[in-house]
Amino acid sequence: MNIYEAENCPKRRADIRKAKGQVSASFVYAFPPDIPIIVPGEIIEQESIDAVLAYREDGARIIGLDGWDISII
């Protein structure tokens, strides 16, 4: 699914730690380095979840999550 479609679909929230295999409806990125880890329309892979957890553990600010929740389709 392309980014436009994903951003304009009905959304629900899910815990990022349990979202493997779901389709993201939002960007998730760490600051720094301010590079997207997950983009809308992408199937959330375990590697992406692990990257989010590692960045958070290292003290990076995670943009696109509300607590641990991510918008999914």
CATH classification of the domain holding 43: 3.90.105.10
Per the structure, how many domains does the chain have?
Answer: 1
Whole-number pLDDT of residue 46: 98
User: What pLDDT is attached to residue 43?
Assistant: 97
pLDDT at 73: 94
Residue 39, pLDDT score = 96
From CA 47, how far away is CA 4, in angstroms rounded?
24
Question: Angle 16-23-35 (CA atoms, 0-180°, nearest 5)?
Answer: 65
List of the chain residues with pLDDT < 50: none
**What tokens were used for 43?**
């199937």
pLDDT given for residue 7 in this prediction: 87
pTM score of the predicted model: 0.91
Letter for the amino acid at 55?
Y
The domain in which residue 52 lies consists of 3-72
